[in-house]
Amino acid sequence: MHIDVLEKKWSQLALGGIGVLVLMILFSAVFQGMHAPSHVETIDSAKLHLSEEFAEDNLGLSIDDQGRYWVRMVAGRYNFFPGFIEVPAQTQITFRWVSMDVLHGVHIPMTNMSTMIVPGYVAEVTTVFPHAGEYPVLCNEYCGMGHDYMWSNIRVVPKHEWQAKHPEQGAQS
Ligand code: CUA
């Protein structure tokens, strides 16, 4: 089969480019620990209020027996529930998100928090807020007419202030 010289060069260039990208993906996966979200956990979105974990009085921040911080939040058109939470800075916190209706996303600027919230699944992201301050929680998947207004707030309190306020929680690193 005859292949034009120029055509051959372009296909080599294209294949070379693909090769570089594959190597970059392998490098980041093997050496930098970057993986596609793999936490697959299902939940019945229509029965969240009846579920043990995402019942209304179970939402927000909680600390388990091992001193781990958990935040459970429900996304629904057009808000995140609870609409406001307070958490300590420099503390590892695992967020668990569920949707009560359609596809939503959650993005907290200046953190690694950016995930889709797919109905029927639990999205889990562990993060640390290095700095105290007020952070917006924004929906970043188009979910309907009120999408632009779907947001809530997180206040990140300096760690020493948090410990002074909640001495019963002890020192957690
Ligand atoms: Cu929820 Cu956009």
Q: How many residues does the chain have?
A: 173
Residue 113 Cβ < 6 Å to ligand 1: no
pLDDT at 113: 85
At 125-135, the pLDDT tens digits run 888 898 999 99
pLDDT in tens, 136-146: 999 999 999 99
pLDDT at 12 (0 to 100)? 96
Is any atom of ligand 1 closer than 6 Å to the C-beta of 100?
no
Using CA positions, which residue lies closest to atom 1 of ligand 1?
104
pLDDT of residue 41: 86
- Measured in angstroms, how far is the CA atom of residue 162 from the centroid of ligand 1? 31
Token pair listed for 61: 């921040």
**Burial per residue of 49-77, b for 16 or more beta-carbon CB atoms within 10 angstroms, e otherwise:** eeeeebeeeebbbeeeeeeebbbbbbbbb
Q: Which atom of ligand 1 is nearest to the CA of 143?
A: 2
Q: Write down the pLDDT at residue 90.
A: 92
- Rounded mean pLDDT for each run of 10 residues along the chain, 173 residues in total: 92 97 91 69 86 88 92 94 93 93 92 88 90 94 94 94 80 50
Q: Which atom of ligand 1 is nearest to the CA of 77?
A: 1
Q: How far is the CA of 57 from the centre of ligand 1 (A)?
A: 23
Residue 9 to residues 4, 14, 15, 18, Cα–Cα distance (Å): 9, 9, 10, 14
∠ CA 106-83-149 to the nearest 5 degrees? 60
State the pLDDT at residue 23. 97
Q: How many CA atoms lie within 13 A of 63 on its CB side?
A: 13
